Structures are given as structure tokens and as C-alpha cells.
Amino acid sequence: MRRIAAFATALLLIPAAASAQSIGQSLPGRSDPLERPAKPLAQKPAAARPCPEYGAGFVRIEGSSLCVRAGGAVRAEFGKSSSRNGYGSAADGMVHLESRGQTGLGEVRSVLQVRGRVDRGDLSAGPFRY
């Protein structure tokens, strides 16, 4: 008996809910898409200001007298070993970071250079020449 009552109630409520929502009207609790406030546009990042006094590639850090330069290289290879019957791969990489700036004691300079190499298989490659 309870199942029949629940089924009858559901049959009566579904058309009532459908008649409350007509085509083209927004759902209750939801605003019309055209009425929603637009998201503010993301600000473009400021362009890097060059540091010509330290040479090509240096850019100034905003709000500081420090200038930095970043660089690097990557090499990947895959091949067949000429002396053995096998295949192999190798990957090399280098990251170079340099900063320069003026302090009360004079010019300061820092350099960070990191190199790495991974060899897999029978490929014997020569060193990565930067």
C-alpha cells in the first residue's frame, strides 16, 4: 500500500514540477547566463625589461637591481650500437642560471650550472659538448 501511495504522489508531483518550469526560463536558484557578471580578464604579465649593461639575455627582476639570465640545452638519441648487436638510448641536459647586480660593496655575480646524463642499453655516445 505504501508503494502505491509513493508512486501516486510521484506521478502527481512530476507534472506539477514540469509545469512550473517552462521552456526558456532559468532554473530556480540559477541566474540567466546573460545576467551573470563577466569574469575579469586576466592581467597580462609585464614584459621583461632587458639589462643591457650586463650583455645579451639578461633581464631585470622587477623591484630590484638584480639581473638574471637562464639558458640550457637538451640532447636525446636512440640508435643501434655499431660494435655490438644491440640498441640503446642516451639523454643529456644542462641548465645554466646567472645573476648579476650592484650592492653597496660593488658588483655581485652568481652562477649555477647543472649537467646530467642518462644512458640506457648498448649505445655508447660521446660526451655532450656544450
Is residue 48 predicted with pLDDT exceeding 80?
no
Q: Render pLDDT for 62-118 as a digit per residue (tens, 0 to 9).
A: 888 899 999 999 998 888 766 666 778 888 999 999 999 988 889 999 999 999 988
Residue 18 lies inside a defined structural domain of this protein: no
The pLDDT of residue 78 = 84
Q: Is residue 60 part of a domain?
A: yes
Residue 42 domain-assigned (yes or no): no
Do the domain assignments include residue 107?
Answer: yes
Sequential DSSP letters for 65-118 = S-EEEEEEEEEEEEEE-SSSS-EEEEEEEEEEEEEEEEETTEEEEEEEEEEEEE
Q: What is the pTM of this model?
A: 0.52
The 10 Å Cβ neighbour count of residue 100 is 19
Q: For residue 14, what is the DSSP state?
A: H
Domain residues for the domain of 55 are: 49-121
Counting the structural domains of the chain, the total is 1
The model's pLDDT over 6-15, given as tens digits with 9 standing for 90+, comes to 655 655 556 5
* Residue 21 maps to a domain: no
What's the pLDDT at 18? 54
